[in-house]
Amino acid sequence: MRAAGLDTAMVLVADGRRALYGSRYLPVDSEVLEQLLPLAAREGMELHAWIVALRCNLPSIVAEHADWYSVSRNGDSSRDQPPYIPSYQWLCPTRRDVRGFLCSIVDELAQYDGLMGIHLDYIRHPDVILPVGLRPKYGLVQDRELPEYDFCYCPVCRQAFSQQTGRDPLELDDPASDEEWVRFRWRSVRETVAATAATARARGKHITAAVFATPSLARQYVRQEWDQWDLDAVLPMIYHYYYDQPPSWVPEAVREGVAALPDRVSLHAGLFIPRLEPDELPRVIEGSLDSGADGVALFSYGAMTPAHFQAAGEVLG
């Protein structure tokens, strides 16, 4: 990685989708950090701890905190009837206990000397609409927001929205077009990000996040208004294949994100290596940088062949 001109590694150390090492409620893989921190320091690279946040099927949480899970407009909990696939179980970002759970993981990680920052993944609501390239996989036509994919209508969300507006979201004529309800869910994620950011910065760590490809797509598909988040950097997943787009679409998406972000937040274009040939990679990297990106993020290390590393090094080295 260092030889190819990369200066940062993000390593998955807390994964709500599966148990790693660590304690019962804080699934932090401390063993990986203890191995990699001295190696990163020796190579002069930054190391960030990558965590899967709101998607969670840890047995301890599933068993003991059923109330933490997001609820669809149909009234089904994602704990018991997850959308799309059986492991698609999501925590509700409006709940204080959920925010406390995430902040406790961030705080544990932020105590590692030499760790540069915390990287948030799956920090959003479930996909109310899938990227167009993925819909055929599930046999779906999503030309509108379907109730079984529309989250969250749990009692906490309904009560909070009712206190703010005097209305019950379950009684809205058209939830998809109700601006107050749309903004409420954007805000619930934004406030969760802010809580984790404050926790990380209290211990001197940076905070970053993996987000959907562009601000407009993120708002529409997963209730992310990431251009309004209190972050040090965003890594939009500009995975052209998911959107049935050619690699040349990546710089266009970069330009939208850069235009929307405040100057203090950097953008690193997330590139989907499994669908990029080595000879395409330099053009996409150069196009991203020319369009205003501060850097690129290559997803992921396991997909990088020697030819990919050599190609990346031609631009970044």
Extents of the domains making up the chain:
8-237
Could you tell me the pTM of the whole model? 0.95
CA dist 304 → 13, 105, 228 (Å): 20, 29, 32
Q: What is the pLDDT of residues 124-161, one digit of tens each?
A: 999 999 999 999 999 999 999 999 999 999 999 999 99
Per-residue pLDDT at 30 exceeds 60: yes
Rounded to whole angstroms, how far apart are CA atoms 132 and 217? Answer: 11
Q: What is the pLDDT of residues 178-216, one digit of tens each?
A: 999 999 999 999 999 999 999 999 999 999 999 999 999
| DSSP per-residue codes, 80-135 | TS-SSSTT--BB-TT-HHHHHHHHHHHHHHHTSTT--EEEEES-S---SS--TTTH
Q: Residue 69 gets which letter from DSSP? A: B
- Cα dihedral 198, 260, 263, 311 sign: positive
CA dist 192 → 93, 146, 156, 270 (Å): 6, 25, 15, 23
Query: Facing residues of 269 across strands?
Result: 296
Per-residue pLDDT at 247 exceeds 90: yes
Q: Residue 313 gets which letter from DSSP? A: H
- CATH assignment of 8-237, among 3.40.50.2300, 3.20.20.80, 3.90.79.10, 3.40.50.300: 3.20.20.80
